Structure 1
């Protein structure tokens, strides 16, 4: 069966809707992080046990990227998006009403599974956008995703302080529920790109990896940049609380705003990739990440420098990500969901590796070891990006 994409119908209103839905979907993964202290006290569990909640959410998300996201090439993507949105509403509502810690653990996995709605929305944008505007439109929706990641912690902590942690999940469920009819009406039907069975879909991702060198380069380079990104953000609160900076959790949370400033570059980077080609944007993005971490590694401890580093390296990471997506989505229009699953799967591995390595290096060598890791990872991404 020959794949026929839907006619491009992606105007500003639909772009805004999809960006909002993408941000709210991915934010669901991160609401829990500022709430761990409240949840520990509520259910009487220690710090080790309460740490299971974000871990289970991330595991659910990672598993669904590889096991569920490829279905977007096999079935009508609009239907998948709405079904996952409904599942996310149920998971969030169940979390809000969870009577026990065990129930919260189950809900955490369910939220991670359903939150991969975000990874169905981005390929939908790539399919609907005219080719000459694909990078720009994907960048606009990625801004929603990135703001969802960076601002979810601020929103969650603030609302929980006012109305309790259950209000965070109840409110999130309500907002996603309100988006569902808008998504159903706004999105066109998507013709399935393949009739392959589920097992063949999964196996085909390995074939795509071996078939497309640009996919391998994009995934590996973005995976290395994700190591740097995750190492910084996963250790930031501990670094700020150390003797060099002496800051509390409120300052750590406010750093999300600094990261959001970098996220706003995504549409500009996508438009530049459309006009000048993505490779130049990727190299500049990797160079910005390297420069930011190299300066942090050797400069005297300064809170304002740390803020500048967060803005600059996040700008570089997001510019490279949007440009890598532009490369990947152009490889095979009939396989965009699977291509996205491969790219995001490798990114997820990089995020997990960055968190683990950053924490280990911080404990063993102190806070300067984290930017050294980030600079080395960015340098590796730059080397890969320069290859043809």
Structure 2
């Protein structure tokens, strides 16, 4: 009891009190420092918009590559010039015949909305959408070539490099200014109310992402847990357990990087598609699976699968298997057996697995940072990391962390209400 109390006080209570105090402490860094902090925030938001635009352009390039791979059997004109560099064919198929022809001017309403720094023209407001939802106007992948897409990528990458250099300079100036003028602190809610709209959108999106990971983990883990809990063969049980546990003898980061090697553009999965003749890696084709949250979901489900499997397995294992046999003898279908017999008994295990998987997913920093490396939308954990260690704003980072903690607690209470379980049921 003494060790448990020491654990709770030193590793839970004191850090939480410190975080709560910081979250409600507002630091007034003076006019110059406040201006620098605002400029840093704007620069980070701009980098976020660029990353979103680059993700869209990369997806568009993959779509053009896929269309070119489909069109190649019908389009043999490019072979007339053996010295021409292969280019993705346009819908008309004629541009590849003349390698020296000048590019035709782009339409006036082309995808300039993908560049958040371009001057808006006409009624094109796509650049105002930080999540890059394609607008109804503008060019599509059917009328754009790889060269045109890459022509948009280059200035975005250049601008991103400028912003990263600017952020480093501004953060150094902010730190020096704060040290010279000192800090005026006061208890306030400003650390919460000053959250930018983009950060709030990322916060809401992260809650939805973690919920998706939890649902996917349950869909994958419930059949496995049921199979392990109801098997009558000890050898089969041992094999299933070993199959679940062996991957977790490897460090989590190594498991994450192994998935990156599978999902990257030159990775194992694209290599398999190339072997099957679906794509041609030598021609630059391939899918960048890591440039989406789907890849993050996949890696997270794999990383946290045991936290869903074992709570469900433990509860199903306590179910009297005669109830399943009785339901089957009475003519119940497999679906009805699970819905009326197994799932009601497994509710505490499902609740525990959902809580653990959701909280681990919402607070994960390793998976979203490593997978895709900025090619997918940000998670709120990445924003918190940058508040602490890049913007040097620990109080605002604490406020963001507290907001995420409150969201997780709300999810726990909601989960307990949905499954009609209490603390005693979860403790079992």
TM over 0.5: same fold?
Answer: no
The structure with the largest helix share of the pair is 1
Normalised by the length of structure 2, the TM-score is: 0.26
